[in-house]
């Protein structure tokens, strides 16, 4: 823009205050440990697998004419529902862990 001076605006940058010095043990995010995230991912996969097996088995038992296409479709829907359900619970658990860690750190810093 002609006639404009000064620094360019920064979009999408959010700061909560001063940046801690490097080497400090400060954690700016409440990100759960890698092990907890891997465990949550594995739980989502297992939940999807179980949902798919339940959906396929239930439909296969009900159908008498060998309708594997329908059983596969219901199995896929069951896998999706199972994975989404376990994913929601995993995200809530990981966020609760992060919040608990933040509260614990804040309580430890109080004199």
pTM exceeds 0.95, yes or no: no
Give the phi and the psi of residue 43 in degrees, each rounded to 5: -65, -40
pLDDT bracket for residue 60 (50, 70, 90): confident
Using pLDDT thresholds of 50, 70 and 90, give the confidence band for residue 7. Answer: low
pLDDT band at 20 (very low <50, low <70, confident <90, very high): low
CA trace torsion 15, 19, 25, 29 (10° rounding): 10
């Amino acid at each position: 823009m002609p006639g404009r001076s000064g620094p360019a605006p920064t979009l999408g940058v959010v700061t909560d205050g001063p940046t801690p010095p490097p080497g400090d043990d400060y954690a700016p995010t409440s990100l759960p440990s890698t092990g907890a995230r891997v465990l949550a991912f594995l739980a989502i996969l297992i939940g999807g697998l179980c949902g798919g097996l339940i959906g396929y088995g239930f439909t296969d038992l009900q159908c008498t004419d060998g309708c594997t296409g329908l059983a596969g479709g219901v199995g896929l829907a069951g896998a999706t529902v199972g994975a989404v359900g376990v994913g929601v619970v995993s995200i809530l658990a990981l966020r609760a862990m992060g919040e608990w860690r933040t509260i614990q750190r804040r309580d430890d810093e109080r004199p």
